[in-house]
């Protein structure tokens, strides 16, 4: 069983929702990312989303755009992101880690070589924002051959017809983008998201996690009551950007993640 | 000729929006249902005679088509070689070829019931054209424009505002056309229910490259008929500037299956194609994925997009339309590049010799022809797509020539 399947099975048995923090790899440098990753599981992260920086992140709002540029300015590359993952796997063999980013860096790396190197480094899944089902075979085939899950996105614009295409080839979990919009910019109506998640879970049989637009422990708790996972990204990245130095950056991120995790984990009425 | 070409160069894209290995639909899932809906709506419009009738009427009475094919007599004399004709897209309403495409797209937007228009712009000519058609049809319009470009194309910023559009200055990235397109895509994702994105170049996700091309082929179709009428035969060479490549693909497409017509696309070499400061995507780039399509890109080894450079804001783009990428690989079109300096010289030459001030973008095509025409016999024929007029560039050129304004 893959690390992702294993983790969601454990959470289901415990009637708990996954807390899934997103951070940008290399923001503001690889050392900070490595130090933070090492401590995220203890702060309550059940699945980690690691952003691969790209120069032109079309689906991201200002916070993650800025984090990507900081990472690129510090020399982050896809190769170095895999190095960060390797270091994480030396100390943690159970927490699933999913890379989230855009296709062009993978295209430049070479899809087959990337799938092999990513699997060897200890990556569990790939979310490639601008690679819809119609175009993703070039990555999906080598990735799944290496045991990597291709995580698909569903959105408020995904109707039932479209959902079939989204689910065909989907692996790991389904990622519901709670808003029609870019990351970290606007908030969703909880009732809309609840209905959408119910529909997706019924159609897919995969765990369904929710992301985009979640900024507070309260919002995360609201979603965690019915979703299988809650992703928070921009709000963590913003806190890190506002911190004074490396230690403060890591401390602030961990404190915030711990409060988010607490809210998510207690949302179904089961205390830790 | 006793040998037929192996196939037609005019049948692309395939059903999934690919020109060979290029094109496609590389967009976020939120946008997928929209680009699929757009494709269906465009296919239906293409088959609807009333759509074409309305578009043709507007092109005639609002844009002023057909545009002249003008024999540049003094330029021809000065160069001493082939006869040079200019396809005068600069004489269109709004001063460039961009209006051809904007009218087609806004008619489509109206058919689809969309009530808000967004656009990206580099030089501002597409922004002006989008703002113009939005005004004509009474729809609100937001134009994204990089900060660098709002500075160097200030007259167009004012024109757009006068037309009632909101110009949003983009301060991310290189603050040019690429970043304006990122911001427009972000706006579209956030406003999917009511917004129609009028892309100005033959780029972006399918169906945009094919659709923009179709709306621009009026340039090449007219040129073909006009040249047959004037000279009794097709031109030996046609040339157009290539940024994203909409005027070029519109000029080229009707000639692709005429093997006797040589076709040259002209990119911006900036400070030199062998320096770091250029926009010669097809000449110097490598295939990758940006803004919804696979095409040649200026990128580093790690797949990060590099900043382009050109004195001309409309060519200052690190990507290019997917069909051009395919035509390059097929060898049907040859792509060259021209430096800022040579484009400036051509800008001045055409102004002084013909009384025509070309857009800096179009001046790249003129500069290339100034290099090749003297080597061609006097009975050869060249047609250049003069895609736009240069009023907007007066300040930039004055500064580059060291004149005070």
Structure confidence at residue B5 (pLDDT): 52
Count of other CB atoms within 10 angstroms of residue B301: 10
A 111-150 residues with CB < 8 A to B: 129-132, 134-135
B56: its two tokens = 């043709």
- Is B178 labeled as catalytic in the residue annotation? no
- Tens of each residue's pLDDT in chain A, 272 residues: 899 999 999 999 999 999 999 999 999 999 999 999 999 999 999 999 999 999 999 999 999 999 999 999 999 999 999 999 999 999 999 999 999 999 999 999 999 999 999 999 999 999 999 999 999 999 999 999 999 999 999 999 999 999 999 999 999 999 999 999 998 888 888 899 999 999 999 999 999 999 998 999 999 999 999 999 999 999 999 999 999 899 999 999 999 999 999 999 999 865 44
Contact status of A103 with chain B (Cβ, < 8 Å): yes
Contact status of A167 with chain B (Cβ, < 8 Å): no
User: Domain segments of chain A: what residues?
Assistant: 3-265
Instruction: Report the alpha-carbon distance of residue B397 to residue B341 in Å, rounded.
Output: 10
Contact status of A104 with chain B (Cβ, < 8 Å): yes
Structure confidence at residue B404 (pLDDT): 65
Residues of chain B positioned with their CB less than 8 A from the CB of A162: 32-33, 36
Query: Dihedral of CA A224/A226/A228/A231: which sign?
Result: negative
pLDDT, mean over chain B: 96
Structure confidence at residue B84 (pLDDT): 98
Residue contact A180–B26, C-beta within 8 A: no
pLDDT category, B403, cuts 50, 70, 90? Answer: confident
Give B290-312 pLDDT, tens digit per residue.
999 999 999 999 999 999 999 99
- Residue A50 host element (H or E): strand A48-51
Instruction: Report the alpha-carbon distance of residue B286 to residue B215 in Å, rounded.
Output: 28
Residue contact B192–A61, C-beta within 8 A: no
For residue B163, pLDDT beyond 70: yes
Terminal Cα distance for chain A, rounded: 25
- The four Cα atoms A247, A251, A253, A257 give a dihedral, to 10 degrees, of 160
Give B267-283 pLDDT, tens digit per residue.
999 999 999 999 999 99
B18-19 vs B22-26, strand pairing mode: antiparallel
Closest C-alpha among A267, A217, A270, A264 to residue A45: A264
User: Smallest CA–CA separation between A68 and chain B, in Å?
Assistant: 11
Structure confidence at residue B135 (pLDDT): 98
Residue of chain A minimizing CA distance to B34: A157
Question: A229-267: b or e for each residue (b if 16 or more CB lie within 10 Å)?
Answer: bbbbbbbbbbbbeebeeeeebbebbbebbbebbbbbbbb
HSE at residue B110, side-chain half, CA atoms within 13 A, is 15
Structure confidence at residue A271 (pLDDT): 46
Residues of chain B positioned with their CB less than 8 A from the CB of A181: 30, 189-190
Closest C-alpha among B125, B142, B220, B182 to residue B319: B182
Query: Rounded to two decimals, what is the model's pTM?
Result: 0.96
A196: its two tokens = 């959408």
Q: Does domain A3-265 have CATH number 3.40.225.10?
A: no
Q: What ipTM was estimated for this complex? A: 0.96
Structure confidence at residue A272 (pLDDT): 41
For residue B208, pLDDT beyond 80: yes
Structure confidence at residue B212 (pLDDT): 98
Residues of chain A positioned with their CB less than 8 A from the CB of B191: 180
For residue B1, pLDDT beyond 80: no
HSE at residue B165, side-chain half, CA atoms within 13 A, is 33
Q: Region B203-226: what's the mean pLDDT? A: 98
Structure confidence at residue A188 (pLDDT): 87
Which residue from B34, B182, B297 is facing A58, i.e. has the nearest CB?
B182
Give the DSSP letter string of B167-234.
Answer: EEEE-STTSSHHHHHHHHHHHHHHTTTTEEEE--SS-SSTTHHHHHHHHHHHHHHHHHHHHHHHHSS-
Structure confidence at residue B6 (pLDDT): 52
Give A207-240 pLDDT, tens digit per residue.
999 999 899 999 999 999 999 999 999 999 999 9
Structure confidence at residue A47 (pLDDT): 98
Catalytic sites of A, residue numbers: 49, 60
CB A203 within 8 Å of CB A249: no
For residue B3, pLDDT beyond 90: no
Q: Region B124-148: what's the mean pLDDT? A: 97
Structure confidence at residue A184 (pLDDT): 85
Count of other CB atoms within 10 angstroms of residue A86: 15
Q: Say how far residue B369 (Cα) sits from the centre of its chain.
A: 18
**CA distances for A113 relative to A109, A110, B304, B400, angstroms:** 7, 6, 18, 47
Q: Say how far residue B185 (Cα) sits from the centre of its chain.
A: 19
Terminal Cα distance for chain B, rounded: 56
CB B307 within 8 Å of CB B261: no
Structure confidence at residue B405 (pLDDT): 57
Instruction: Report the alpha-carbon distance of residue A99 to residue A127 in Å, rounded.
Output: 6
Give me the residue label for tokens 């079309």.
Answer: A58
Chain B contact probe: residue of A104, A166, A170, A178 with most B CBs at under 10 A: A104
Count of other CB atoms within 10 angstroms of residue B166: 13
pLDDT category, B177, cuts 50, 70, 90? Answer: very high
Residue A39 buriedness (CB in 10 A; 0-12 / 13-18 / 19+) = middle
B53: its two tokens = 């009738």
CB B265 within 8 Å of CB B256: no
Count of other CB atoms within 10 angstroms of residue B264: 21
Q: Quick one: DSSP state of residue B305?
A: B
Give B349-396 pLDDT, tens digit per residue.
999 999 999 999 999 999 999 999 999 999 999 999 999 999 999 989
């Amino acid at each position: 069983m893959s690390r992702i399947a294993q983790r969601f099975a454990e959470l289901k048995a415990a009637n708990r929702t996954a807390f899934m923090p997103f951070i940008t790899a290399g923001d503001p440098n690889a050392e900070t990312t490595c130090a933070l990753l090492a401590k995220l599981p203890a702060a309550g992260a059940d699945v980690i989303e690691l952003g691969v920086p790209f120069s032109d992140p079309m689906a991201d709002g200002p916070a993650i755009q800025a984090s990507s540029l900081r990472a690129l300015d510090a020399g982050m590359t896809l190769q170095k992101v895999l190095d960060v993952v390797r270091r994480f796997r030396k100390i943690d063999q159970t927490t699933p880690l999913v890379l989230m980013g855009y296709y062009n860096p993978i295209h430049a790396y070479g899809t087959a070589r990337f799938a092999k190197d990513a699997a060897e480094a200890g990556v569990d899944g790939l979310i490639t924002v601008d690679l819809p089902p119609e175009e993703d075979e070039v990555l999906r085939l080598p990735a799944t051959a290496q045991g990597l899950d291709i995580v698909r996105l569903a959105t408020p614009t995904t109707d039932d017809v479209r959902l079939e295409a989204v689910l065909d080839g989907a692996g790991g979990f389904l990622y519901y983008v709670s808003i029609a919009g870019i990351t970290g910019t606007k908030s969703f109506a909880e009732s809309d998201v609840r209905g959408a998640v119910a529909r997706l879970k019924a159609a897919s049989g995969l765990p369904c996690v929710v992301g985009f637009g979640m900024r507070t422990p309260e919002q995360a708790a609201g979603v965690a009551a019915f979703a299988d996972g809650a992703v928070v990204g921009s709000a963590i990245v913003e806190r890190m950007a506002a911190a004074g130095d490396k230690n403060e950056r890591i401390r602030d991120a961990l404190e915030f993640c711990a409060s988010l995790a607490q809210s998510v984990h207690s949302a179904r009425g089961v205390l830790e | 000729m006793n040998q037929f070409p192996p196939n037609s160069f005019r049948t692309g894209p395939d059903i999934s929006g690919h020109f060979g290995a290029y094109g496609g639909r590389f967009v976020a899932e939120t946008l997928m249902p929209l680009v699929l809906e757009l494709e269906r709506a465009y296919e239906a419009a293409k088959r609807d005679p009333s759509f074409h009738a309305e578009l043709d009427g507007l092109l005639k009475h609002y844009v002023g088509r057909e545009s002249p094919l003008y024999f540049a007599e003094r330029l021809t004399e000065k160069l001493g070689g082939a006869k040079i004709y200019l396809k005068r897209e600069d004489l269109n309403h709004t001063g460039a070829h961009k209006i051809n495409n904007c009218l087609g797209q806004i008619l489509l937007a109206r058919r689809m019931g969309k009530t808000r228009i967004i656009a990206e712009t580099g030089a501002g000519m597409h922004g002006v054209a989008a703002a113009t058609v939005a005004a004509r049809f009474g729809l609100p319009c937001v134009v994204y424009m990089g900060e660098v470009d709002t500075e160097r194309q200030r007259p167009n910023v004012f024109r757009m505002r006068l037309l009632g559009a909101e110009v949003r200055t983009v301060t991310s990235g290189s603050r040019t056309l690429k970043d304006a397109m990122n911001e427009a895509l972000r706006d579209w994702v956030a406003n999917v229910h009511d917004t129609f994105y009028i892309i100005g170049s033959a780029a972006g996700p399918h169906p945009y490259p094919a659709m923009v091309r179709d709306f621009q082929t009026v340039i090449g179709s007219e040129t073909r008929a006009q040249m047959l009428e004037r000279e009794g035969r097709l031109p030996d060479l046609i040339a157009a500037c290539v940024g994203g490549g909409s005027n070029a693909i519109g000029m080229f497409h009707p000639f692709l299956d005429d093997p006797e017509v040589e076709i040259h696309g002209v990119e911006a070499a900036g400070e030199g194609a062998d320096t770091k400061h250029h926009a010669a995507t097809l000449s110097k780039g490598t295939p990758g994925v940006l803004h919804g399509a696979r095409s040649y890109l200026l990128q580093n080894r790690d797949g990060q997009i590099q900043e382009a450079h050109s004195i001309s804001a409309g060519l200052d783009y690190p990507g290019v339309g997917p069909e051009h990428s395919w035509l390059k690989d097929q060898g049907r079109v040859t792509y060259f590049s021209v430096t800022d300096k040579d484009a400036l010289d051509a800008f001045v030459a055409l102004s002084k010799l013909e009384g025509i001030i070309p857009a800096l973008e179009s001046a790249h095509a003129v500069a290339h022809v100034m290099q090749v025409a003297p080597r061609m016999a006097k009975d050869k024929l060249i047609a250049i797509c003069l895609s736009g007029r240069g009023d907007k560039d007066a300040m930039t050129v004055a500064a580059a020539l060291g004149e005070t304004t």
